[in-house]
Amino acid sequence: MAGRRARAGAVRARVLIRPKAGILDPQGGAVARALPALGFEGVHEVHVGRMIELEVDDPSTVGAMCERLLANPLVEDYEIELLG
Amino acid sequence: MRIGVVRFPGSCDHRDTIAAASAVGEAVELWHADRDLRGADAVIIPGGFSYGDYLRAGAIARFAPVMEAVGELAAAGGPVLGICNGFQVLCEAGLLPGALLPNISLRFRCVDVRLEVSNPRSPFLAAVPAGAALRIPAKHSIGRYYAPAGMLRELEERGQVILRYAPGESFNGSVERIAAVSNAAGNVMGMMPHPEHAVRERDGSADGRLIFASLRSAVAATGAGAAAGSGSAR
């Protein structure tokens, strides 16, 4: 979907979901430990989340989608980007 | 007593669960698309990978039609037990507090664990002798129980922490070694270990039978059940 135009009347939205600060993120830790092994020094923090791209008719509904399904607000933060 | 065992696409422990439940009552399989509980007095949501664990474990299953009826039974005080993926589903559905995160090791582990009773008054432990520890297998990659500090304090104060992994056996990194929690009313419980896989001596332990045997007292304690399960809640 990336790089593509949204269908007529629809808006492309991108939702970035990441573990809440303070919640142990073993995936981020594993990646952070792997990078120096490849010679990439100076990496201090890595957090692994996920990205969801949607095409929606009404972008004002994306927040509710995040609260109810796309993210688990107890353990994850989310950010919505509207791409037009 | 009729025990409904919910099966979603991707469930895999429903057979062992039905076999174990059959020892204490009449077990019936409920399909995710069912709109009622076929008269069940208690419901078990078994382990597996409902809907492929897509998005987050349990996130899609909570919207299955049968979950509305499960929610009605829970609201009416009927016993609802979630095992492993069932625990994840009940957390996602908001019927239980907290969330289950990937194991700290990021690995799937299948191990026998010793469990300490944290709240012996739970109806789901009615058949467990006082002071006994349970030996039950756990097998999962997403079983690290998490609740934010404030919620955790409330759970401890209200006796909603039901089982803990014995010291040194919390392989998944769960906060406060929590293996099972209940809702505030005590009639909904989720546990990561699998009692249905420990019901005969040849399973290595038969301690799981005690959880199923407790269902009868859990049903008796609530007096709910069939009325809500038939679709006409209350």
Domain coordinates in residue numbering, chain A: 11-82
DSSP string across B172-234: T--GGGEEEEE-TTSSEEEESS-GGG-SBGGGTB-THHHHHHHHHHHHHHH--SHHHHTT---
Residues A51-69, mean pLDDT to the nearest whole number: 96
Note whether A15 contacts B: Cβ–Cβ < 8 A. no
**SS3 for B77?**
coil
Cβ neighbors of B72 (< 8 A, separation 6 or more) are B228, B231, B233
Question: Does the residue B173 lie in any domain?
Answer: yes
Look up residue B11 and give its DSSP letter: B
Neighbours of B127 (CB within 10 A): 17
The packing angle between helices B14-22 and B208-222, to 10°, is 70
Give the model's pLDDT for residue B26. Answer: 97
Counted domains in chain B: 1
Question: Does the residue B142 lie in any domain?
Answer: yes
Residues with pLDDT less than 50, chain B: 224-234
Give the model's pLDDT for residue B234. Answer: 34
Do B105 and A26 lie within an 8 Å CB cutoff?
Answer: yes
pLDDT digits (tens, 9 = 90+) for B8-61: 999 999 999 999 999 999 999 999 999 999 999 999 999 999 999 999 999 999
Q: Burial, B156: exposed, middle or buried (Cβ in 10 Å; 0-12, 13-18, 19+)?
A: middle
Instruction: Give the CATH number, domain containing residue B144.
Output: 3.40.50.880
Question: Does the residue B234 lie in any domain?
Answer: no
Of A26, A72, A74, the CB nearest to B102: A26
Question: Does the residue B55 lie in any domain?
Answer: yes
According to CATH, the topology of domain A11-82 is Mth169; Chain: A , (3.30.1280)
Of B55, B99, B105, the CB nearest to A75: B99
Range of the domain at B127: 2-229
